[in-house]
Amino acid sequence: MKKIYITICIYILGNTFQLFSENSSIRFLNQTISETSKSMERLSSGTLLWTDSPSSKAIYEKLESHIRFLAQSIRNNQDMISYYRTREGFLESTGNSLQRIRELIVQRSNSLYGEDEREIIDSEIFMQYSGILKDLSRAQFNTIPIFGDWLKDEEIEKRFREANFYNLSGIDRIMEAVLSERASIGALINTLEHKGAGLAVEQENASAFQSRGDTDFALELSIMKRNEILFFADLFLLRQE
């Protein structure tokens, strides 16, 4: 009777250990599958998961919004620089034309020239002056008139209206306005370039900080390889049991 009792106890104990072993193997297998799934998600997204560090993930997501804001601000800043450089380019051409008109006025005052020569000079002066007004009135940047506000300025409009083809003082007044505007544009471009440099530095450092939340690919690949080995080991143990 005692032997039968011992045999039954051994049988029950053996089944209990076997059941415990099977449950442990299944639990470890599920854990391995879960870890592998997380590694795959980290590798595919390139960032930490919300379950890894919720507080850090929230900071990185908020920082992503700020980085995109900075990127768009940099593009806007570059667009404004392009606009003002286009405006300055037109004014440079205008200044060259005014210089030519000034030369022609001085040339026209030569007492050795007759009426025919002066008519030829007057024709070129008129063409140069008309070309200036056409270029400034038609100049556009992305369909936006570049000099609409400048030409409507009361003082500028007065200088162009009162300009005398044969008077150096009138042309000089227009040249002063052009040079003053070019100086203002140059200062604006410098300001925008400094602003753009500051935004770029801020974006660079924000991106560097955010990159700490990126996936460590070498580490995740090694974890995946380890989990792959554990997965097949757990399957082997389950088959043996």
Domain count, the chain: 2
- At 205-236, the pLDDT tens digits run 888 776 665 555 666 667 776 667 666 665 66
Section 34-46 average pLDDT: 66
* pLDDT given at position 174: 86
Predicted TM-score of the model (pTM): 0.66
Same domain, 39 and 97: no
Is the confidence at residue 114, as pLDDT, over 80? yes
Determine the structural domain holding residue 11 and report its residue range.
2-46+216-240
Same domain, 97 and 122: yes
- Residue 85 scores a pLDDT above 50: yes
pLDDT at residue 3, rounded to an integer: 41
Q: Is the pLDDT of residue 176 over 70?
A: yes
DSSP assignment of 103-147 equals HHHHHHT-TT--HHHHHHHHHHHHHHHHHHHHHHHH-EETTEESS
Specify whether 102 is located in the same domain as 178. yes
Residues above pLDDT 90, as percent of the chain: 26
Same domain, 143 and 233: no
Within 8 A by CB and 6+ apart from 128, the residues are: 97, 100, 101, 104
Dihedral pair phi/psi, residue 136, rounded to 5°: -70, -35
Q: Same domain for 20 and 98? A: no
27 and 11 housed in the same domain: yes
- Domain identity same for 69 and 95: yes
Other CB atoms within a 10 A radius of the CB of residue 119 amount to 10
Whether residue 22 is found in the same domain as residue 127: no
Give yes or no: residues 33 and 95 share one domain. no
The pLDDT of 123-145, averaged and rounded, is: 89
Placement of tokens 């039968």 in the chain = 4
